[in-house]
């Protein structure tokens, strides 16, 4: 399946958001995920299915000032 992840076209095998994070080797718990510009609550990551052409943004907090 083809997705746009953080602005880059990717071919992935994952069918859900939680599986996508594992496939892309994201570790830890401090992420925000948006699919097609809608931020998903963490509780819905394991039930949100991905579709060919979806745009996914995976955001991590940054410290700065």
Q: 2-59 in CATH: which number?
A: 3.10.20.30
Note the pLDDT tens digit of each residue in 31-40.
Answer: 899 999 999 9
Q: Phi-psi region for residue 37, left (φ > 0), alpha (ψ -120 to 50) or beta? A: left
What pLDDT, on a 0 to 100 scale, did the predictor assign at position 39?
A: 95
Residue boundaries of the structural domains of the chain? 2-59
* pTM for the predicted model, two decimal places: 0.88
Look at residue 65 and tell me whether its pLDDT is greater than 70: no
Q: How high does pLDDT run on average in the chain?
A: 93
| Mean pLDDT value of segment 35-59 | 96
Q: Tell me: the pLDDT tens digits for 15-31?
A: 999 999 999 998 877 88
């Amino acid at each position: 399946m083809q997705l746009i992840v953080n602005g880059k076209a990717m071919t992935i095998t994952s069918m859900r958001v939680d599986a996508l994070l594992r496939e892309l080797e994201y570790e830890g718990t401090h992420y925000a995920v948006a699919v097609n510009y809608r931020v998903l609550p963490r509780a819905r990551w394991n039930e949100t299915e991905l579709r060919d052409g979806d745009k996914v943004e995976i955001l991590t907090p940054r410290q700065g000032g």
